[in-house]
């Protein structure tokens, strides 16, 4: 079922920013799933951190042509935050989605659902529950704990485990 925010969701342009170094095999699955199974009003920006693999470079040309993906060169040493920030500066969407380059869409309404929560009053950031390939939860949010260390919520739990909210 669609959310009560559908009318507003459909008008929001979302910029998806992904960082990569080579990794065409990951991006191929991800971009195909995003472009064919997801939100209609989307801009995809791939931040390329000095890729040198000929297969990946050819892949960048293809996704630019076939999907309209913007591939932007980041010719600096790896710094995940700086690369994402540069991608956000290039984004034209009203909303931003920061996405790892190895994420595959498993539910076509994933972005609609995240946007519906993001548009609620008082909400400023939303994250998705991510799964490992074997179905266990990779994480369902992050928390900063003692000493300023961040860690993932629910890492390793079965997908149907309700966690602490039983």
Residue 127 has which token pair?
């994250």
Q: Which of 64, 60, 67 is nearest to 38 (CA)?
A: 67
Q: What is the mean pLDDT of residues 146-156?
A: 76
Residue 86: the pLDDT is 97
* Total Cβ atoms within 10 A of residue 86: 17
What is the tens place of the pLDDT at every residue in 12-35? 899 999 999 998 888 887 787 787
Q: Which of 100, 128, 89, 86 is nearest to 20 (CA)?
A: 100
- The pTM is what? 0.82
**pLDDT exceeds 70 at position 5:** no
What Rg do the C-alpha atoms of the chain give, in angstroms? 17
């Amino acid at each position: 079922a669609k959310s009560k925010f559908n009318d507003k969701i459909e008008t929001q342009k979302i910029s998806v920013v992904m960082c990569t170094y080579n990794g065409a095999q990951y991006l191929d699955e991800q971009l195909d799933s995003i472009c064919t199974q997801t939100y209609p009003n989307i801009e995809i920006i791939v931040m390329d951190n000095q890729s040198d693999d000929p297969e990946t470079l050819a892949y960048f040309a293809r996704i630019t042509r076939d999907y309209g993906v913007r591939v932007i060169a980041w010719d600096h040493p790896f710094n995940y935050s700086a690369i994402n920030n540069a991608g956000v500066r290039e984004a034209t969407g009203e909303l931003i989605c920061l996405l790892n380059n190895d994420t595959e869409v498993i539910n076509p309404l994933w972005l609609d659902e995240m946007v519906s929560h993001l548009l609620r009053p008082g909400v400023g950031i939303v994250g998705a529950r991510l799964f490992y390939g074997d179905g266990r939860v990779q994480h369902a949010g992050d928390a900063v704990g003692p000493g300023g260390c961040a860690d993932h919520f629910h890492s390793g739990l079965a997908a149907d485990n309700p966690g602490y909210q039983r």
